[in-house]
């Protein structure tokens, strides 16, 4: 099977799987929790801060992460635009 055929089959399987998922939130909840817990561990690796303080710090860490991703995305778009229109 070629890489293109594998990609196409994987896309079909993913769409079939999501078509059969009534509760999308329940299906993704463990991944979402792990993603958010990452920022709490980053903000308070020892787990000693009060919950309210840790939550605020984690929110800022998450916002910084998202802004960093947005900057990387914008830079990639700029590079693509430059390469298409030299």
So what's the pLDDT on residue 45? 96
Count of C-beta atoms within a 10 Å radius of residue 5: 9
Which residue do the tokens 């605020």 mark?
56
Extract the tokens encoding 4. Answer: 């293109």
The tens digit of pLDDT for each residue in 17-53 reads 999 999 999 999 999 999 999 999 999 999 999 999 9
What is the total residue count of the chain?
86
Burial class (CB in 10 A: 0-12, 13-18, 19+), 58: buried
pTM here is 0.73
So what's the pLDDT on residue 41? 97
Residues 58 and 40 sit within 8 Å (Cβ to Cβ): yes
């Amino acid at each position: 099977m070629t890489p293109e055929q594998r990609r196409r089959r994987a896309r079909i399987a993913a769409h079939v799987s999501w078509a059969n998922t009534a509760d999308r939130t329940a299906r993704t909840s463990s991944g979402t929790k792990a993603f958010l817990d990452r920022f709490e561990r980053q903000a308070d690796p020892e787990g000693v801060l009060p919950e309210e303080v840790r939550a605020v710090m984690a929110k800022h860490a998450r916002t910084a992460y998202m802004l960093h991703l947005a900057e990387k995305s914008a830079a990639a778009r700029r590079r693509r635009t430059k390469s298409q229109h030299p």
